[in-house]
């Protein structure tokens, strides 16, 4: 295209963990420059954040509304090409809606919205606008997750019959929200997090990973949720049974009170020809087991990889790639698609999570909460 894409950011100001992650990830492949931002609902903090990021004073805005309308008035060669939304859940919908309706493409953190109603409306807005929308389910960006998906798609495992997925953390095993912990305080607050606690924060990642790798939709779930933290109202633990659309069975275990766990996201896929196992804390290994063959471990840049896995392996074999690189893959694939669109070209099957995945995530949260309230009855996605 002859130039880098220009990114604006909403949220992610001074002291933000996830904003810094997004900025680093967007920069890794050299396709994107941060050119503007509304980094906080506090105007003074937003302007100060812009200065620390070396943005010009006239591109650091006091609100997302000001940014979107001001950028729209700039010449096409200067204005942002897309906006990245890295705010808490309750501040996803309005900025995304305004950006799309004013001609800007969107990258948004997950879960996509605060409510299912917002998710469905946002899907319609994306379709009407004709703009691109990416959801940062970053774990789909790992090379070995791409390999697993390709192996399932190409029939290497045969018919999928059983799935086990877990996402275990322990950082909320004590009441850290009462100590001023910023990340905890909004995640346990239904006004800012929505009706799901751990469900929205990590459960949606597990749900998305299952559907991404297998290519199968979860048809219905039976959920038993727990609230262990003092004075909490949102779930911080849960066990779920899954029924897949092809008849396969599955289990999901999520927790943020599993003392000692760090970021233990892991998945096992069992077919009638073979099985796969992947762990996020050891992301460069994909373990495969077969009926009449020895166990085989796939690694990035190794032998027998599908193109989808090789395409996101950036460095030589034996050099670990991790969280930031997986995040960067979402940005890279989104940027590749957007550049093609701007050049009048078409990419038939862009590989990044979209608004439809965001709707699935919200359906998952609502179905799990409904099931739990009804004594873990089987509940379909609505």
SS3 276: strand
The two tokens of residue 235 are 């779930």
**pLDDT tens digits, residue range 140-192?**
999 999 999 999 999 999 999 999 999 999 999 999 999 989 889 999 999 99
Residue 370 in domain: yes
pTM score, two decimals? 0.96
Answer yes or no: do 159 and 16 share one domain.
no
Tell whether the torsion through CA atoms of 112, 116, 122 and 127 is positive or negative.
positive
Res 182: pLDDT: 85
Residue 15, domain CATH:
3.40.50.720
Bridge partner list, 141: none
**pLDDT tens digits, residue range 263-277?**
999 999 999 999 999
Q: First and final CA of the chain: distance in angstroms? A: 41
User: Where residue 14 falls among pLDDT bands split at 50, 70, 90?
Assistant: confident
At 162, which helix (H) or strand (E)?
Answer: strand 160-168
Residue 366 in domain: yes
**Secondary structure letter of residue 202 according to DSSP:** I
Answer yes or no: do 262 and 364 share one domain.
yes
Answer yes or no: do 167 and 45 share one domain.
no
The two tokens of residue 42 are 């506090």
Answer yes or no: do 66 and 24 share one domain.
yes
Average pLDDT rounded to a whole number, residues 20-27: 97
Cis before residue 111, ω within 30 degrees of 0?
A: yes
Answer yes or no: do 286 and 189 share one domain.
yes
Residue 220, domain CATH:
3.30.360.10
Residue 180 in domain: yes
Is the confidence at residue 1, as pLDDT, over 70?
no
Its domain, for residue 186, covers 142-314+359-380
β-strands 82-85, 133-135: how paired? unpaired
Answer yes or no: do 82 and 168 share one domain.
no
Answer yes or no: do 231 and 375 share one domain.
yes
Walk across the sheet containing 286-290 and list its strands: 296-298, 286-290, 274-279, 264-271, 160-168, 249-255, 237-244, 218-226, 379-380
Answer yes or no: do 134 and 154 share one domain.
no
Answer yes or no: do 98 and 231 share one domain.
no
Answer yes or no: do 266 and 147 share one domain.
yes
Q: How many CB atoms lie within 10 A of CB 109?
A: 23
Answer yes or no: do 100 and 163 share one domain.
no
- How far is 1 from 302, CA to CA, in rounded Å? 31
Bridge partner list, 264: 168
**pLDDT tens digits, residue range 47-94?**
999 999 999 989 999 999 999 999 999 999 999 999 999 999 999 999
User: Where residue 347 falls among pLDDT bands split at 50, 70, 90?
Assistant: confident
Average pLDDT rounded to a whole number, residues 29-54: 96
- How far is 116 from 194, CA to CA, in rounded Å? 10
Answer yes or no: do 199 and 285 share one domain.
yes
Residue 77 in domain: yes
At 107, which helix (H) or strand (E)?
Answer: strand 105-108
């Amino acid at each position: 295209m002859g130039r880098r894409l220009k990114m604006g950011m909403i949220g992610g100001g001074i002291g933000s963990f996830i904003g810094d992650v997004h900025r680093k990830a967007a920069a890794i492949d050299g396709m994107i420059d941060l050119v503007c931002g509304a980094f906080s609902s506090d105007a003074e903090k937003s302007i100060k954040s812009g200065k620390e990021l070396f943005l010009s004073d006239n591109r650091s805005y006091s609100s997302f509304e000001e940014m979107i309308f001001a950028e729209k008035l700039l010449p096409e060669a200067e204005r942002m090409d897309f906006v990245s939304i890295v705010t808490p859940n309750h501040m996803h919908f309005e900025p995304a809606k305004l950006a799309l309706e004013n001609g800007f493409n969107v990258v948004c953190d997950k879960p996509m919205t605060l409510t299912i109603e917002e998710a469905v409306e946002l899907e319609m807005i994306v379709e009407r606008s004709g703009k691109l929308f990416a959801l940062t389910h970053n774990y789909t960006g790992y090379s070995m997750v791409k390999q697993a998906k390709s192996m399932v798609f190409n029939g290497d495992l045969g018919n999928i019959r059983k799935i086990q997925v877990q996402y275990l953390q322990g950082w909320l095993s004590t009441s850290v929200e009462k100590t001023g912990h910023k990340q905890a305080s909004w995640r346990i607050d239904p006004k800012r997090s929505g009706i799901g606690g751990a469900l929205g924060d990590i459960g949606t990642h597990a749900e998305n990973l299952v559907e991404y790798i297998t290519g199968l939709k979860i048809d219905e779930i039976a959920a038993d949720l727990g609230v262990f933290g003092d004075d909490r109202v949102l779930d911080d633990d849960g066990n779920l049974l899954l029924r897949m659309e092809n008849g396969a069975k599955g289990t999901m275990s999520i927790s943020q009170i599993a003392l000692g766990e760090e970021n233990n996201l892991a998945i096992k896929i069992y077919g009638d020809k073979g099985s796969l196992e992947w762990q996020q804390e050891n992301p460069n290994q994909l373990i495969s087991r077969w009926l009449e063959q020895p166990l085989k471990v796939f690694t990035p840049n190794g032998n027998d990889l599908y193109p989808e896995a090789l395409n996101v392996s950036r460095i030589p074999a034996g050099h670990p790639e991790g969280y930031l690189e997986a995040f960067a893959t979402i940005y890279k694939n989104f940027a590749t698609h957007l550049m093609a669109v701007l050049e009048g070209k078409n990419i038939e099957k862009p590989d990044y999570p979209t608004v439809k995945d965001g709707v699935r995530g919200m359906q998952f949260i609502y179905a799990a909460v409904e099931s739990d309230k009804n004594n873990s009855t089987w509940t379909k996605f609505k």
